[in-house]
Homo-oligomer: A and B are copies of this chain.
Amino acid sequence: MKHATFEKGVVEMGHGAGGRDMADLIRHLFVTAFDNPDLTGEEDQAILSFPAGRMAISTDAFVVSPMFFPGGDIGALAVNGTVNDVAMGGADPVALSASFILEEGLPLADLARVVGSMAQAARTAGVHIVTGDTKVVERGKGDGIFITTTGFGQVREGVSLSARNGRPGDVVLVSGTLGDHGVAVMGRREGFDFDTNIVSDCAALNGLAGALLDAVPQTRLMRDPTRGGLAAVLNEIAEASRVGIAIREDALPIRPGVAGACEILGLDPLYVANEGKLVAVVPPEQAEIALAALRAHPLGREAAIIGELRADPDHFVEMETAFGGRRMVDWIAGEQLPRIC
């Protein structure tokens, strides 16, 4: 990045003003890092060829604080988070857009690091970042970097997933341990020096989701338990499918270090965000096949069957506790975990 545009080493208002400095930043930083034939920085839009069929579209804004955390950063999160929402629709992600809101004074080295990990994450997930946007706001009107990604993917033939598809008797699986991302971010934010094993699970789930659908095309639905954690996803499924859900505390995969950190931080792992896990609901007769398919994938080795759907006019989510009691699992309340993604 040797260029007049980068002389001061920080983002300036001029980098968002539509002139030479912005064009240089786009060309020499973003387009160079994202490196793919669909992104030239010369047009107002990207043009891609699509075969006929169903397309999945999803968007997320990323505002995580701090922007670097154990196991990832806002850039990797912005790519993986949107790849995952597209993949949860039974689609193979193809392309992403990426919009940046930068705060004046942001070190360009931080921006370059974030952009580098976006490029790396996109390569790993097999998607191209094909178009973007760069805005700059005055110091104190933003917070370093906000990124919005939007993803597009082709929905697989014969697959039709929906939060409404669950039926009593269906089985609920989770692809691995719960709470890692949220605890890693909160720990860093609060300045705790936890066990170095507590790192974000931030990862692209399209490979894992594809492996599950290959094995069990009858999968009813998939969700990634991000904000609001497993509790939010189960409540959304219960409402949309008009069922109750029963899960078993014993069956939930949670790292002991994460459980301990949750106690210190006053968090409940059921409500903590994950960024590399999926929840799947499958017909009961497919449950073991689904479990085996998840476990056979590097990102699903700790997958588990955690409960099942049942008839319940109240659409309650209940957990059988480790001590044999029962506990309601309600939505997250208030603002337990701000700016986690």
Residues of A within 8 A of B (CB): 12-14, 16-23, 42-63, 65, 84-86, 88-89, 91, 95, 97-101, 130-133, 135-138, 140-143, 146, 148, 150, 152, 155, 162-164, 223-224, 226-229, 232, 236, 240, 273, 331-339
Chain B residue at minimum C-beta to C-beta distance from A133: B60
CA distance in complex: A21, B22 (Å): 38
Question: Is the CB–CB distance between B55 and A47 below 8 Å?
Answer: yes
Question: Is the CB–CB distance between A56 and B46 below 8 Å?
Answer: yes
CA distance in complex: A101, B338 (Å): 13
Residues of B within 8 A of A99 (CB): 59-61, 148, 150
What is the oligomeric copy number? Answer: 2
CA distance in complex: A251, B3 (Å): 37
Residues of B within 8 A of A227 (CB): 16-18, 22
Residues of B within 8 A of A164 (CB): 42
Chain B residue at minimum C-beta to C-beta distance from A57: B46
Question: Is the CB–CB distance between B152 and A57 below 8 Å?
Answer: yes
Question: Is the CB–CB distance between B45 and A89 below 8 Å?
Answer: yes
CA distance in complex: A338, B48 (Å): 32
Question: Is the CB–CB distance between A52 and B54 below 8 Å?
Answer: no
Residues of B within 8 A of A18 (CB): 226-229, 232, 273, 332, 337
Question: Is the CB–CB distance between B61 and A135 below 8 Å?
Answer: yes
Residues of B within 8 A of A100 (CB): 61
